[in-house]
Every structure is written in C-alpha cells, then in structure tokens.
Structure 1
C-alpha cells in the first residue's frame, strides 16, 4: 500500500467556538420563503472575530449545535476575505429551527456573485479566501447556540487517491445498531419519501442510538406504530431542508444531533488513517461518497451522493460500514475494500473526505493536525 503524500491530500482547518455571547439586539421582520405572511421577531446577534485560515481556501462549511424550540429559530451567515484583500458580502448559510411550527427550515439558493456562491450548505469561493467571519442571529426567546465551527479547505484535483496503510484500528469494530433507509420507502412524501432519499436520517439515527440518545416515545407519536424504526422518520422530519427538498443538509444533521446533548461538527478527513483514530477512540463517523457500482465492490448500487456510518476496520484494514442503502436492517453491515472505499470518498468528484463527527461531550476526540 502507498501512503498518500502531502500533495495528494486536502488542506483543511477547523475552527470552533464554544462561547457565543450575543452583543446586539433588536426587532426584525421576516418573510419565510415558503410562507405568505411577514412575521416580526425580537433578535439577538453574535458576530465572530475574523479568523485566518492559513492557506487559500475554496470551500467553507459551518456547522453548529443549538437550541431553537417552538417560538425561536436562528440564522447563520458567513463573510469571507479574498486573497486580494477584499471582503465578500454576507452569505446566508442556513435558517434553522428544531421543529417546523414557526419557520420552514431551509438553505437559501441564488446567492452567487463574483466572489462565490452557496451550494446548499457549502460556501464555494470563486476566488480563494484567506479569512472569514461568522454571524448568528437568534430569533425569539428560546434560541441559544452551544457550539459552532467552520471547516475551511481546498481539495487537490485528483481523479483517484492512493490508499493509506492500515493503522491503529485494525480489527476494531464498534457496536452501532443497523438501520436501513430502504424499509422507509414511501414514508412521508413531504419530507422526501424515505427509501432512496433518507440515507442521512438513517445514518444519524444509527449514531444517536449508538450513544443512547434520540427522541422519546412522546416525540414519535406521530409515526405509525408499525414503522420499522420511528426514530428515522423523526430525524427525516427535523433534518429536512425545504429549499434543497431533502434531508442531506450537513449542518442540519449536526444540529439535530445537538438537540440530544451531543457535540458535533462537519469537517474533512485526509485519509482513512485519520478515521481509524476515531474508531480507536470509540467514535463512529458518518461519511459522504459518490460512486458507480463497480467502483465499490459489494455495494450493489451506484450513487451521486450517499451517507453511511464507518463502524470499524478488519484486521487487514478494510472498512466495516453500516450502509443504510441495504434492503433490510439485517443486511446493513458491509465490508468494503480499503482502497476502493478511500478512493470513492476522498477523490475530487466525490465529497473530498467529508465526515460528520458526533460524540458526547465527555468522550474526548483523538489528536488532530488541525482539521478537528
């Protein structure tokens, strides 16, 4: 096996804030893009200091854990500084609430200009950026931010990726409960209809249940008792992005997990060797990848974008994953060849190594080179 050289790897930095203290307040009017009436909201606002990235970045992804129960919601915005020194406008990175009674949870399309654009949950720079600021506006009395972070990165152009050497998690497998998205086919068309479209809520539910967290029986009362896993339907409802018309908004998934006392963020890993550190620490990771069926032996399908949970590694270093695209819970556990998995996850035409990291506050993260 060949260990990737630095030139083969993404440049990634992750910044985190654990204290968000608003310093501005007021009243604002809001017209929901999916509503018909303007509503008035008291708000408080926090604006971060400008953070240097350390290299010319082309993508930034914020993520957060927060509280926004009935009667509240929050808006996350980002402003960047280009390498030529100019500031961009403020880009809207998401309007989020726990439920759907006050606003429609949504990303915001159509923001593109000469500096960049927002692709659902990712700021994509037209011109590389070297620094940024965040702005979070909390509407209503119940909104509060617990943690917020930003992943900044540049992914090298690479149609394929060298495979990394098996490392410290060889032979380690975590007991993550299996949940199939396919068993929810046809459920709740207003939130994506289950089946092919619910890989994100199925993956998030697996991780929450691994940590012993998630919605209680009263929260699941709206689901048919015959449902194979009502928690997946609940996650789909409360992760749904009305503009994207799907449940795959990365920060919305992290925010959903944060409702249950978990910490979390979105970042990029640079190899499976980094994923092994998390597995060794007892933390499963949700990965995002795209591939044709023959590129990932054992998958049995092709996808333009799909989430699954890495739960361990074989003694030879191959990837053990809970893949929700399986037809049943009993067939969710898969073993994928290390080289194939690493390639379809890290290459430029896939996610470039995107992961969701979800863990309890008392479970420490492994050591990092700055990308978490």
Structure 2
C-alpha cells in the first residue's frame, strides 16, 4: 500500500487526542444541504475570487482578469537564492508575494492542512506558508507547507518538496500537516494567515498563477469508533477504474513503483471522470509497453522529493488542478451522509483510511495508510469504492460494508497489528471538481464546507 504513515508520530497522535467535547452528531439523510452544519469540527477557508485576492497584502502581485481570477507576478518584489536540497544546485530567483488577511477559524484547531491550485510554467514555482495564532495570542513561525512546481525539468524547475524539521515546540509540520503537539490541555490554533510567494527566473515575464489557495483547520474528536449513520442514497458514478498493482516495479524512483501509488492512481481516476487526460506529449516519457501510462505520469507529477513518496495530500490536489478548469482541495468530512450528499450531486471523493485486514471485509489486506475513490452506495447503503489496491483494473470496483468502512475512515485512533495505539485519518479526503458547476453541485460542496 502507500508508504504514507498517516500522522504516525507521537506528537501528531497527541494532537488528534487534544480536541475537547463529544463526537459530533451524525446528520440524517438529506440534512445539511446548502451550508455546513454548526456541529462540524472542520473549518475551510479558500481564497478564489478577485475580491478575495484583493483583500490580501500584495508585494508585487496582481490579480488576473477573466473567468478564473488568480494571482500573478506583476513586478519583482525582491530576489533570493534558493539551494535546492534535491539537486544540489543554487539558483537566483525573483519573487512577488501575497499575504492573506487573518482568518479566524470556526473551530479551535489541532490540525491545519493547506492546499492550492496553480499554473507553474517552466522556470517558475510557488511556496505556500502558514502562520497560526494560538489561543493565548502567541504566533507560530511561518511554516512552509509546500514548495510546488508542476514540472520537473532538471535545468529549469526546482524539485517539488515538503520541508521537514519545522517546529516551535508547540506545533510541528509533518510533511503536509501542521499538527499541535500538546495533549488534552494543550494549545489550539484559533486563527491563521497564508503567505504565497511566486518565483520566476530573473529578467523573464513568465509567471506562476495561483487560482485557489486556503486551508482546512480541524479539531476532530478523539475516538476509536464513530456513530453509525443511516443509509440515505443508492447511486453509483461511472468513474474509470485503475489498478496501482499492475504498475508494480515500474519507475521505482517514484515511491518504489506502482505498489505504492494509491494516491496518484486514485487522483487519475477522478481527473478522467471529469473528462481530463494528459496529452500524448505528456506521456511520451513513459515506456510504451506499460498499460495506463497516465498513472505513471500522475505518480511522477505528485512525487514529493523530501517525503520520497507520492502520497502528499496537497500535492495530489495541486496536480489535479493542472488540468484545464479543474480544482482540487484537501478537507475532512464528518460522516458518510456527507459523502452521500456529494455522490448525489455527481461528485466522487478520494478518501484516506488505515485498517487491519480483519477490519474491512473483502479488502484482503491491511494498511497504515491507503487512498480509495468512493464512487457510490448500494441500495443497502454499503460503500462502492474504486480500490486501486486490486490485482487488475476490472477488480478495482469493490463493495465494502458500510459500518466497517465508516469506522476505519472517520476514526482518529486505532490499534495496529502489534496492539499499539496509532492514529487514524479522521475523515480526510480529496475533492476534485470543475470550475463550472451545476447549482446542485455548488450546494453539495457548500454543505461540506467547500466553496
């Protein structure tokens, strides 16, 4: 399965255990449409509109015009040298910067995950940072949440990367997640700012463009089990089925090959569900004897050179957004009912879960972290998932028992095979969707707090 060990560090586990209060009530079928529920433990804030971008502090950035407003470099605010730890090369870049206004979260957060959608032509890149304010008024440092370039031209691009060893003794960045270190009585992050720095080669006019940026703040209750929800939908979406396992041994430089590609494989399924595909030129580097070369491409384009894997959550969302008019976010959902709301509107979801073999009937494996694509629900309410950890493409469609699947996805604590208490994902998912949405799709996304 994926090499990602989901917040397995003790500090991150303590952070998940830090949230106060009982587990949230699970809404009944049909509830919550149009706006997020007040009892959700998740707050999403994304900057996407021209008005949003104008609320921030601009240092050399300007707002792009048109149907998809964003930020671009209008003038250089400064120059800096960047020593790429993954190539050993140092280069000079000019940059412009945008800093968001302070966003006060609706939940005092124990975790924050940033995500962004951007176009980064060759010779450009983007750095996303986050600075939180604790409930005692003290601030975190500016944490780097990702250095992103969609390409990997060895002469023109940096290596996309997360940044390790970031902590202030109260919070720590674990690859893509800012997690509070404290136990139950520890601090919370009550507000935050994002800072986007857009880089390009000096003397050029080419520029990155950022269309969407924001963060998900959450304080999911500490729990081994979650309340059961009642089935409310029978529907299945026609999502392409791709197996990661048929790529075993291919391109081991990217996360040891296909057997670890659950995240990019799932991403590619939904990208193609929305009618987007890589071009023949994009795939020209792939061995023509390999089936589904677009899966190899997705693995290469999501690879995090520091994490040494393809399971960086925001990198997958950013990859999806490299396709025309497609958007991607990382968030958490509160229940299977919220997933039903999305499926009803024609929006599949990529979910992250961890479990022992005996905890998910029919899976045939256990995992410390794995991504699946939820495509529907049976008449009995069971989950229909495209599970990339399958031996062939036809075998990818699986039906998993509702109660088992609900628990392995939404819990924040579990026991591993050795009986040790480790973390669960607490409902993490990726949502990809086009810029042009139906009214029903906009309502469904708003119902889970995404705009």
Report the Cα offset of residue 192 of structure 1: 1.4
Report the Cα offset of residue 184 of structure 1: 0.3
- Residue pair 2:317, 2:328 contacting (<8 A) in 1 also: yes
Pick from 417, 420, 425: which aligns with 1:351? 425
Q: Which residue pairs with 2:378 in the alignment?
A: 314
Pick from 177, 189, 200: which aligns with 2:240? 177
Partner Cα distance (2:101, 2:358) in 1: 47
Q: Which residue pairs with 2:351 in the alignment?
A: 287
Structure 1: 5+ residue stretches without partners: none
Partner Cα distance (1:23, 1:112) in 2: 27
* DSSP-derived class of the 2:425 partner: coil
Q: Does 2:59 align with 1:23? A: yes
The list of structure 1 runs, each at least 4 consecutive aligned residues, that deviate by more than 6 angstroms after superposition, is none
Report the Cα offset of residue 34 of structure 1: 1.4
Change (3 A) 1:35 1:327: same
- Residue pair 1:293, 1:300 contacting (<8 A) in 2 also: yes
Partner Cα distance (1:65, 1:171) in 2: 32
Deviations 1:85-105 (A, max 9, x none): 111110010000011121111
Partner Cα distance (2:40, 2:143) in 1: 24
Partner Cα distance (2:370, 2:119) in 1: 27
Partner Cα distance (2:428, 2:146) in 1: 19
Change (3 A) 1:106 1:228: same
Q: Which residue pairs with 2:218 in the alignment?
A: 153
* DSSP-derived class of the 2:259 partner: helix
Pick from 310, 317, 329: which aligns with 2:393? 329
- Residue pair 1:12, 1:370 contacting (<8 A) in 2 also: no
User: Superposed, which structure 2 residues align to 1:249-264 within 5 Å?
Assistant: 249-261=312-324, 262-264=326-328
Q: Which residue pairs with 1:266 in the alignment?
A: 330
TM, length-normalised to structure 2: 0.79
Report the Cα offset of residue 361 of structure 1: 1.0
Partner Cα distance (1:298, 1:14) in 2: 34
Partner Cα distance (1:264, 1:36) in 2: 31
Report the Cα offset of residue 299 of structure 1: 0.4
Pick from 199, 203, 217: which aligns with 1:139? 199
Matched residue count: 367
Q: Does 2:24 align with 1:6? A: yes
Structure 2: 5+ residue stretches without partners: 1-21, 27-38, 61-76, 182-186, 201-205, 413-422
Partner Cα distance (1:307, 1:69) in 2: 29
- Residue pair 2:249, 2:259 contacting (<8 A) in 1 also: no
Partner Cα distance (2:281, 2:425) in 1: 36
- Residue pair 2:46, 2:213 contacting (<8 A) in 1 also: yes
* DSSP-derived class of the 1:355 partner: strand
* DSSP-derived class of the 2:331 partner: strand
